[in-house]
Structure 1
Amino acid sequence: MKATIINIGDEILIGQVVNTNAAWMAEKLNQNGIAVDLVLTIADTKEAIVDALELAIARTDLVLITGGLGLTKDDITKRTLTDYFGMELKFHAPSFNNLQQLFAQFGRTPDDRYKVQAEMPDGAKVLINKVGAASGMWFERDGKVIVSMPGIPREVKYLMKYEVLPNLKMQFQFPSIMHYTVNVTGKGETDLAEMLTEFEQKLPSNIKLAYLPNSMIGVVRLRLSAYGEDVMVLETQLDHYIRKLPPVLGSLIYGEHKDTLERVIGQMLLKRKYTLGTAESCTGGNIAHKITSVAGCSAYYESSVIAYSNAVKRDLLGVKQETLDEHGAVSEQTVIEMARGTQKLLNVNCAIAVSGVAGPTGGSPEKPVGTIWVAVTENERIYTQKLQLGKDRLQNIERTTTIALNLLRRFLLDDLSNEAE
């Protein structure tokens, strides 16, 4: 079965609201063996709704519509669909009873104005929305299913989970789909594709490999998707190919599914009973932000020093003035002293220190924008790396954060051997 998702709303088209419904719905449909063929975002007009609906019905078997089911004048979806399917609106008592129950939770009673909300197309299957005022509507034509839901994400999720998907499963049979995601950093999409050429060539026709790069932070997700009828066969088959990825990619893999570098590093530090501190110049606290986004990080993370000025580098972290004078703030020597100073100041086993030119200005011929030095430590050991990134300030901050975290991960794994002294 192929599906179209139609999201209605001028607020989405003008960028006032982010369309989270489409991504969530597509994920859930895919998990249930339904392939999304088309996603449309359209205006709150009758012409746009009808045009999108006809395109969707011609191309796919299932059409899921969100938005435009409120009481204001711009909410015209219900009337448009009622006319399109040649039906009439009639008062639907169960929908009004649901509305009364919702109001009762707040000590209120819906007046006659809200009876319009309970008018539903006579001939459509009504999907009671227990977390919102607007019921969903299920239409069928020539074997095609068209479902209309309100646009509020919480209500979309309720109706999809408790009404739409259960009804689809009762009416249709879907193939099984299984996914496995590997998270990789240190190589770009092109390099990874070259490394995995032979691996991809040996994949059976029912297993696909997708590359999902996030160039802003420098991470690529590799997703293996297996399609078939027998879940147990798919599990065995997918597991066979999952095991073949680590020998090819090695330490480029830092996790699976929703793992993040900061979470993986936290687990490594906890296992070793290590503590961590950070000293950041050009990243301005972004590394600390990532680390502290993980619940329970207080068990291993001590603090961060935002050493943006040379004075802070010198007076708080103990970077020698002669180091700054001779080599500058953006240098290997400086980040080494920043890292060592962080260990001493915070009494931690491990430290991350960064200093560089994030941009878009401030560079020089010797140290152009995007020149950044990183140091990571584990007790007495220390490792440094010079980065040459681009001119986009935000991307430089995000990429440096990813690289610094990954360097610490690899250093703890003994995957980096060149030590700076």
Structure 2
Amino acid sequence: APGFIIEKGSKVIIALPGVPKELKYLLNKKVVPYLKKRFQLDQELITSKVLKVTGIGESKVDNQIKDLIKETINPTIGILASPGDIRIMITAWAKSEREAETLVRPIEREIRSRLGNNIYGVNEDTLHGVVTNLLNKRRDTLSVLETFSGGELTGRLQKSPLSPLHESIVIGKKEQILSFLNKKGPALEINKKTAEYLAKKIKRKGNSSIGLALLGTLKTAENGYNVDAHVVVSGENINGSYGWKMGGDLPTLQSRSATIALNTLRLALIS
């Protein structure tokens, strides 16, 4: 993906690709050296802190902090968006790391006060890593049943060697869901009630403290698929649910749905 730097008088516009690896490489190898030379910052330190956001869209994040973006000069604030995940980068320059942290801290505090629990982590944190840590801290175990997401959720939960995942079942066909439900016939209602039943059943089957069901049906559409989906979290003194409709290509739908499921679980764990 392309990036560019435009100079006009004392003003500079820098555009970088949103792909994390490309962005980090260009930022460290090109942008930071350029800024140091352009603004004679060789004697100063540039440091950044990233707040990671999920559960709300880029436009809503921008609307809630646009005054800070506009008015704050040092540190600067930027928004980087990717499917299901938004990064808010706070960048400060100062003569020492302590001074830079002093500049970043009040801005971070203000952003957190506005976005609340939509912020799930910082810097290198991942959503599945945060969820794994929450589960382990509570000494909870998890069993998962997922359908149209094709194992995307299970794959993320298994990335940590400390994963508390007891059991996972990935069901691809309606007949398999009916079999799991011990039902016969073509009727299968894709709704919150069915997802609740599945979450409770997978919890019992996996002998875990929490069950999660990610249930949905895919229908072909002009530019890919549409999905009508529900996620339910069920456990002792912990419950959460979310329903949504979404369209797009299959990999995107599966990835975003796994993100929604993880975030629903995270919110249930911290509520």
Question: What TM-score, normalized to structure 1?
Answer: 0.54
Per-residue Cα deviation, 1:55-82 (whole angstroms, up to 9, x for no partner): xxxxx99xxxxxxxxxxxxxxxxxxxxx
Asked whether the 8 Å contact 1:335–1:353 carries over to 2, the reply is yes
The reply to whether residue 234 of structure 1 matches residue 233 of structure 2 is no
Change (3 A) 1:252 1:313: same
**Letter aligned with residue 75 of structure 2:** I
Structure 2: state its 5+ residue gaps.
5-18
Residues in 1 aligned to 2:106 and 2:190: alpha-carbon distance in whole angstroms: 47
Give the strand-richer structure, 1 or 2.
Answer: 2
Match of 2:253 in 1: 396
Q: 1:187 is matched with which residue?
A: 56
Find the counterpart in structure 2 of residue 376 from structure 1: 233
Q: Structure 1 residue 312 and structure 2 residue 176: aligned?
A: yes
Letter in 2 for 1:287: L
Question: What TM-score do you get using the length of structure 2 for normalisation?
Answer: 0.81
1:212 alignment counterpart: 80
Aligned-residue RMSD, C-alpha:
3.0
For the pair shown, which has the larger CA radius of gyration, 1 or 2? 1
**Cα distance in 2 for residues equivalent to 1:308 and 1:270:** 29
Trace 1:106-121 onto structure 2 (pairs within 5 A). none
Give 1:35's aligned residue: 34
SS at match of 1:244: helix
**How far apart are the structure 1 equivalents of 2:24 and 2:118?**
29
Q: Deviations over 1:87-114 (max 9, x none)?
A: xxxxxxxxxxxxxxxxxxxxxxxxxxxx
SS in 2 for 1:233: helix
Q: Which residue of 1 aligns with 2:14?
A: none
User: Alignment partner of 1:377: what SS?
Assistant: strand
- 1:20 and 1:263 map into 2 onto residues whose CA distance is 18
Residue 342 of structure 1: aligned partner: 202
Q: 1:29 is aligned with what amino acid?
A: K
- The equivalent of 1:92 in structure 2 is none
Q: List per-residue Cα deviations over 1:342-366 (Å, max 9, x = no partner).
A: 011101111221121345459xxxx
Question: Structure 2 CA distance, aligned partners of 1:185 and 1:20?
Answer: 16
The count of residues paired between Structure 1 and Structure 2 equals 251
Which residue is equivalent to 1:287? 153
Which contiguous aligned blocks of 4+ residues in structure 1 show a shift greater than 4 angstroms? 19-24, 319-322
Tell me the distance in 1 between the aligned counterparts of 2:111 and 2:62.
Answer: 12
Query: What CA distance in whole angstroms lies between the structure 1 residues aligned with 2:102 and 2:247?
Result: 43
1-side partners of 2:104 and 2:156: how far apart? Answer: 32
Tell me how far apart the structure 2 counterparts of residues 336 and 210 of structure 1 sit (CA, whole Å): 39
User: 1:262 is matched by which residue type in structure 2?
Assistant: H
Q: Which residue does 2:10 correspond to in 1? A: none
User: Out of 116, 137, 143, which is 1:277 matched to?
Assistant: 143
Aligned-pair CA distance for 1:201: 4.5
Aligned to 2:7: none
Separation in structure 2 between the aligned mates of residue 413 and residue 24 of structure 1, nearest angstrom: 31
8 Å Cα contact 2:69-2:78 kept in structure 1: no
Q: Aligned ranges for residues 30-69 of structure 1 at < 5 Å? A: 33-35=32-34
Q: In 2, Cα distance between the equivalents of 1:331 and 1:321?
A: 18
Q: Give the SS at the match of 2:244.
A: strand
Which residue identity lines up with residue 234 of structure 2 in the other structure? T
Structure with the larger RCO, 1 or 2 (CA within 8 Å, 6+ apart): 2
2:26 aligns to what? 26
Give the unaligned 5+ runs of structure 1: 5-18, 38-59, 62-171, 363-367, 415-421
Write the mapping of 1:2-21 to structure 2, written as runs, cut at 5 A: none
